[in-house]
């Protein structure tokens, strides 16, 4: 997945969506950032994010999302929105 540019807009979005860490750290991992955006971002935030990420990038973010970040409703919505219905199983934690 391509990186998300650090601009004043994306940094402000990162502060709202991944409020518990710096925007630079949040934007440094686009897969993880997109996963948090799927669950927490507003419609306007997602319009901004989609300027930087294609549908293929967003599908990759769903495929590689860390477990426990995206809630079931958001998982179903974004998979459907990106042409994947029914949605595949959500990421899950496992024992190692």
What does the pLDDT read at residue 93? 87
**Number of domains, the chain:** 1
What does the pLDDT read at residue 61? 97
Q: Is the pLDDT of residue 96 over 90?
A: no
What does the pLDDT read at residue 31? 97
What does the pLDDT read at residue 51? 95
Residue 96 located in a structural domain: no
Over residues 69-87, mean pLDDT: 97
Residue 49 located in a structural domain: yes
Residue 50 located in a structural domain: yes
What does the pLDDT read at residue 17? 96
- Which residue range is the domain that position 66 belongs to? 8-81
Each as own residue / partner, the long-range contacts of residues 11-15 (CB below 8 Å, 24 or more positions apart, any chain) are 13/37, 13/41, 13/45, 13/48, 13/49
Residue 18 located in a structural domain: yes
Residue 15 located in a structural domain: yes
Residue 89 located in a structural domain: no
Percent of the chain with pLDDT over 70: 99
What does the pLDDT read at residue 79? 98
Residues 6+ apart with CB under 8 A from 85: 79
Global pTM reads 0.93
Q: Is 77 helix (H, G, I), strand (E, B) or coil?
A: helix
Residue 44 located in a structural domain: yes
Residue 40 located in a structural domain: yes
């Amino acid at each position: 997945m391509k990186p998300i540019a650090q601009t004043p807009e994306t940094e402000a979005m990162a502060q709202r969506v991944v409020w518990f860490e710096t925007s630079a750290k949040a934007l440094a991992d686009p897969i993880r950032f997109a996963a948090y955006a799927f669950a927490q971002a507003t419609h306007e935030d997602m319009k901004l994010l989609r300027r930087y990420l294609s549908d293929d990038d967003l599908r990759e973010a769903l495929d590689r999302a860390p477990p426990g970040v995206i809630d079931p409703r958001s998982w179903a919505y974004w998979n459907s929105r990106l042409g994947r219905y029914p949605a595949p199983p959500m990421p899950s934690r496992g024992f190692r």
